[in-house]
Amino acid sequence: MAAAAAPPPPSEPTDPTPLQTKKPLGHPLFSRIRLATPLDVPHLHRLIHQMAVFERLTHLFSTTESSLFATLFPDPTATPTPPPFQTFTVFFLEVSPTPFPSTPHPHFTPILKTHHLDLPINDPDSDAFQTCSNDAVVAGFVLFFPNYSTFLAKPGFYIEDLFVRECYRRKGFGKMLLSAVAAQAARMGYGRVEWVVLDWNVNAIKFYEEMGAQVLQEWRVCRLTGEALQAYADK
């Protein structure tokens, strides 16, 4: 008599729960780099003051909201305003817990990015830096303007200030701002982007070198300002 066939293996238990789509780990945070507008001047003034505190240069800080309005956003009815990138230009970095809408601009398309952080960011000054759109807050800025290289026979950009608020540092936001300026220069066929860094700010120096920048040790900044500059008015 033939041996009985072995019983079939037990079937895999069915999971009544449907498969869930895997979600990225961490806490999502959405960022946007856009052109600043006259409405941003109060935030810009606070950012510059925070930067002066960080750089230990508050004794040189005399900027007011009025002076920023007058020099960065002059009245277009009195003086024709050059388009962005042809004069003083400010990129604002905003962050939000919800995605930013796509808002094209004739001169610059905002840069949108999603970040997945290990921990949420505690922003003690969120109320002071909140904007009117999308529960967003201002996290940093970069101010730059055209210069010119006679050796290259090409224009370039000079970065006057790049600043990220303390609670948003070491998360890639400074790199985003610097990359945005460099990308704009490359698109316009410019020859280079330049800026200065304080010699004691070793973290910033390392960061810039890692981005491919050369720190030119043989050059020194020369400046005429205040009474020394005004002395030439009568000559």
Q: How far apart are CA 40 and CA 128, in angstroms?
A: 12
Q: Residue 157 pairs with which residues in a beta bridge?
A: 146, 193
Strand stretches in 2-136, DSSP E: 27-35, 89-96, 111-117
Rounded to 5°, the CA angle 192-194-200 comes to 150
Q: Tokens standing for 38?
A: 């006259």
- Let me know how long the chain is: 235
Rounded to 5°, the CA angle 145-47-163 comes to 60
Given 158, 190, 208, 232, which residue is catalytic?
Answer: 208
- Verify whether residue 148 is a known catalytic residue: no
What does the longest C-alpha to C-alpha distance in the chain come to? 125
Q: Which residues are catalytic?
A: 208
